[in-house]
Structure 1
Amino acid sequence: MRGTLVTLLLLCATAGAQEPPLTVEASEGSLSVVPFALPAYQPETSWLLGGAAALVYQPPESSGRRESQLLLAGAASLRKQFSLILSSDVYALEDRLHLGGTLSAARFPDLFFGMGGATSASAEEPYTPTYHEVELSPKWRVLPSLYVGPSGRLYVAEIDNPAPGGMLDQGDVPGARGGTTVQLGVSALWDTRDSTLYPRSGALVRAQARMALPALGSTAAYNLLRIDGRGYLTMPYAPHVLAVHALIELRGGEPLFYDTGKLGSAEMMRGYYEGRFRDRQHLALQAEYRAPLFWRVGGVVFGSVGNVGRSLDEELLSDLKPGAGVGLRVAPVADVPVNIRLDVAYGSQLSFYLNVGEAF
């Protein structure tokens, strides 16, 4: 759930960056300060209000270099949830170096249903987690579209107000009392998209391989391989676009329950409450067809399948959970490829999403 709000705020700041209110022009590009505020809605948070301020660098168009951004953002919901984040997406040294990182904190009343892909909705247990996270992933360009580098993550969680007598209250679940995760590893980024805001062609692949060990200060010992791949194809009857998104999360060892794969969010497996199903292994695949309708209004239809499980076995692949929905897209500013999106999806429940930017 924290990740969903973070994504929303990143999209808000990116949308605001298209027409910055304060810009300093220079021969080497422009530097802009972008404030932004936006209401949004999704099942995990109810209504929320987010605010952001971004420092955006736009290089000269003739340079062929990429934009850079530093983001400070926050959000609060009607359910007394909050999220704060300082994020870096900076390209330096003529785009040879990418500096990615996150400093964040969040507190969300949440729900726990147990582990696995066959838990019952009646097993719902409320609890209140508080998270603090630092993540650093500097990457060096080794090929024209490929960046590789080390990756580190510190994640500290406190778990409050578990349901009396429930699984978390009894302490039977790893992480039921909170804990600390320290991960070290490598990350890679491959990006051939024609646009970071509304891609019509190309692909994006993010990969991470990290380990968490007690010797590093972690409460639990486990390893993680995460691959997030997205592809975009402009149809012959442009500007219709077919977009496909695949996610693989594989874990070995015993991760804390809040650090496992979670099915459902505003980006992947819409129609499922985020964390309704969770476990060590997490697979998901979705496709979305995007088409203009009239004026600056577009429509989408999407479908997804996914599952979680303790092991990567036949049961995980044979019991895939489906989801599907439709949505509207409205571009608030002409000639700016950033949409406000309203999605209606059904998976384990009927869900509505009001956000800025595409789901993926």
Structure 2
Amino acid sequence: MSPKVPQKNCKLLRKIMSVVALAVCGIGPAAFALENDEDHFQRFSALPILGYSEETKLQYGAMALLFFKPNEPGGKVQEIDITAYGSTRKQFQFLMVPYFYLYHDRISGIVDFRYQNWVGSYFGMGNDVDFDKYIGFDRERLHFSTELKSSIGLPRSFNYGVKVIAERSSTDFNDCTKDRCADMDLPDLHNGWRNGGGYILSYDTRDNLNWTRSGFLVRWQQMFYSDWLGDYDFGVQDLDLRGYTPLFWNISVATAALWQRASGDVPFDMLSGPDGTKRFRGVESLFFRDNQSLILQAELRKYLGWRLAGDIFFEGAKVGDHFSELLRNRWHQAVGFGGMLALNLKERLYARGEISWVDYEKFGMTVYIRSAF
């Protein structure tokens, strides 16, 4: 059931530009949303970015979300997300991601173009890593991918699709001059082209992709990177399971399980592990990494009124070289909570800021667009 806004607020939002802010510990984005008075269709949201995460530290920039009317009444809204931000860690990233729907929404697609001039941390391999033991790296990355899915010829809930990726990466490790990384085994940098393609199969009954309250998703993806197309030969695959159930007082529960596997000559920054923003929030991307990973998540979400929502969550994650080792390894755990602000209330598209307590010893923070899963 869609969240409802009091009528007096609806009238106000139709006439003026909404100026809203999401704050987590004093840090968060502010959004400006403009609606068309004639048809009440929101055309865009502009988002100044002032946030913080473990990977970027303080980040600053801007985001624009452009919305386009559905191809037919009741159809899905098409969208283009454009983001540019830097950080106090001397990172820069530009992203442009269009979402589009064709043929009565039976065909959907995502195009992802991004440029990164990035600083990151390598904590080593395996499930048992130390927060204080790492070596930094500098990476320049140009990425393009496109994903096309369809349900033509099948019931709408069944989807099949293809994905193509072209990426060039250049990475350098920093000089290891401190005791904290003197004995680390550094991986191959895998500089050059990582090009590949693969397929996607899914069964999806979710009621809404941005703020899901009911339904479930079963998604299998397999990608093949070939040295015929680029410089390296490896493969990655994942099984994504998600379930959603409405409870009471406009509360819903979301659960997820993600299994990932990488094999072959895999670059160290494309191994299996948490991404730190959607899966196991509050750590740097691939804080722990290996050939396989397993991530479990549970979250309670509640619409609070006007454009505000909140969540509390519990997550567990671990990695291993092979499946039996993965099962034996200990779980990393994180608990947390967050606040959300609707950038497009009709489409239930939220910006979120969350704080997590990782392994009950370190606090992390995440600011992002859309729900974590």
TM-based fold match above 0.5: yes
Matched, 1:134 2:147: no
Distance in 1, Cα, partners of 2:354 & 2:55: 14
Aligned to 2:317: 306
Aligned to 2:104: 94
Distance in 2, Cα, partners of 1:31 & 1:94: 21
- Most deviating of 248-257 and 308-317: 308-317
Distance in 2, Cα, partners of 1:222 & 1:208: 15
Aligned to 2:288: 277
Aligned partner (choices 144, 147, 153) of residue 165 of structure 2: 153
Distance in 2, Cα, partners of 1:155 & 1:287: 33
Aligned to 2:204: 191
Equivalent AA in structure 2 for residue 100 of structure 1 = I
Distance in 2, Cα, partners of 1:291 & 1:211: 39
Aligned to 1:217: 230
Go from structure 1 to structure 2 and tell me whether the alpha carbon gap of 1:263 and 1:224 turns closer, same or farther (over 3 Å shift). same
- Most deviating of 188-197 and 82-91: 188-197
Distance in 2, Cα, partners of 1:150 & 1:115: 31
Deviation, 1:64, is 3.1
Verify the 8 A CA contact 2:42 2:344 in the aligned structure 1: no
Distance in 2, Cα, partners of 1:191 & 1:331: 24
Go from structure 1 to structure 2 and tell me whether the alpha carbon gap of 1:205 and 1:63 turns closer, same or farther (over 3 Å shift). farther
Q: TM-score, normalised by structure 1?
A: 0.82
Off by >6 Å, runs of 4+ in structure 1: 22-25, 165-172, 332-336
Verify the 8 A CA contact 1:23 1:31 in the aligned structure 2: no
- Most deviating of 47-56 and 272-281: 47-56
Could you list the runs of 5+ residues in structure 1 that have no partner in the other structure? 1-11
The equivalences for 1:339-354 within 5 A come to: 339-348=350-359, 349-354=362-367
Equivalent AA in structure 1 for residue 289 of structure 2 = R
Go from structure 1 to structure 2 and tell me whether the alpha carbon gap of 1:101 and 1:168 turns closer, same or farther (over 3 Å shift). farther
Distance in 2, Cα, partners of 1:229 & 1:213: 28
Distance in 1, Cα, partners of 2:311 & 2:42: 34
Verify the 8 A CA contact 1:210 1:224 in the aligned structure 2: yes
Deviation, 1:305, is 0.9
Between the aligned residues of both structures, percent identity stands at 23
Distance in 2, Cα, partners of 1:355 & 1:168: 31
2:269 is paired with a residue whose SS is: helix
Superposed CA deviations along residues 267-294 of structure 1, whole A, max 9, x for unmatched, are 2212433222011211101101123567
2:228 is paired with a residue whose SS is: helix
Verify the 8 A CA contact 1:174 1:254 in the aligned structure 2: no
Distance in 2, Cα, partners of 1:296 & 1:88: 24
Aligned partner (choices 245, 259, 263) of residue 248 of structure 1: 259
RMSD: 3.4
The equivalences for 1:25-44 within 5 A come to: 32=43, 34-44=45-55
Aligned partner (choices 47, 59, 81) of residue 91 of structure 2: 81
Go from structure 1 to structure 2 and tell me whether the alpha carbon gap of 1:85 and 1:210 turns closer, same or farther (over 3 Å shift). same
Q: Which has the higher helix share?
A: 1
Equivalent AA in structure 2 for residue 68 of structure 1 = Q
Q: TM-score, normalised by structure 2?
A: 0.79
Aligned to 2:73: 63
Go from structure 1 to structure 2 and tell me whether the alpha carbon gap of 1:122 and 1:353 turns closer, same or farther (over 3 Å shift). closer
Verify the 8 A CA contact 1:174 1:255 in the aligned structure 2: no
Deviation, 1:70, is 2.6
Aligned to 1:182: 195
Equivalent AA in structure 1 for residue 102 of structure 2 = A
Counting matched residue pairs gives 340
Distance in 2, Cα, partners of 1:170 & 1:124: 10
Verify the 8 A CA contact 2:210 2:347 in the aligned structure 1: no
Superposed CA deviations along residues 144-185 of structure 1, whole A, max 9, x for unmatched, are 123312221112111135233799999965442523211121
